[in-house]
Amino acid sequence: MSCGSRVGRALSAFSHASHRWVAIPLRDPHDPITQRPSSRPVDAHAVGKQTLSLTSWNIQAPQLWHIDRSELILDHILKGPKFPDIIFLQEVRPTVRQSLLSNPRVRSSFLTTDAEDDTSFKGVPFATMTLLSRKRFGSPLLAEEEGEGEGEGKDEGGSKMVLDSVFRMELPSRYKRDALCVNIAAPAVPGAVLRLLNVHLDSLNSHHERALQMDILAGLLREPGCSGGI
């Protein structure tokens, strides 16, 4: 894919019935945000009061012991009584991806990107992955499949935030880096999204590339239909 092109990706939930990761239905990211069909009404007042916790961790995958290192990092992230709502991981090797997808706590508590296939990990030594709490994020169709009725699918923070779409956009990079973007339906602005950007900027002597990457990322947060993000 050329710089600036967007490749639609999926968020998947682990199905204990079929014992596999299953992509949840989302909007096609190539459709304009402003033309997104309206989903089930969201309690904007309740969602507006929510706070979200985010953990971002560059695993710094070494050639040796990268699975052991990633497991220790995941244990540290998930050691508290409450898991983070959002987890950004960078330098995830293909073998580490498989380890994450096999982890019982990840399977039971998170939605994750890149469970559908390993496309994002081909031709690069490592890539990024985003994990989202199943308690805090969902989609109306996923709620129906899980049997959540009116008033269900909530925690002490209020209604779940509704997922909109996921895509990767290649950045100008010496190392084939990209931006992994998760769009969340903005509860108070119909047709708009909030955007979560998981990025591993170029390292070493790459000042020019990093400046270009930051400019593109800033544009992603300012484009029409995006109400903000991180």
Task: Name the strand (E) or helix (H) holding 107.
Answer: helix 104-109
**What span, in angstroms and rounded, lies between the C-alpha atoms of 30 and 59?**
31
Please determine, for residue 215, whether its predicted confidence score (pLDDT) is greater than 70.
yes
CA distance 211 to 149: 47
Poorest-pLDDT segment among 79-88, 170-179, 182-191, 217-226: 182-191
Identify whether the C-beta of residue 130 lies closer than 8 Å to the C-beta of residue 85. no
78-96 mean pLDDT = 94
Residue 147: is its pLDDT beyond 80? no
Spell out where 142-200 has E strands. Answer: 161-170, 178-185, 193-199
Identify whether the C-beta of residue 181 lies closer than 8 Å to the C-beta of residue 175. no
What pLDDT is recorded for position 4? 72
DSSP bridge pairs for 56: 88
What is the mean predicted confidence (pLDDT) over 68-80?
A: 93
Which of the residue ranges 16-25, 140-149, 188-197 would you say has the lowest mean pLDDT? Answer: 140-149
pLDDT surpassing 80 at residue 3: no
| Residue type present at position 30 | H
Residue type, 207: H
Residue partners of 17: CB distance under 8 A and separation at least 6: none
pTM: 0.86
Of 201, 154, 199, nearest in space to 42 by CA = 154
CA angle, 129 as apex, 126 and 131 as ends, to 5°?
Answer: 155
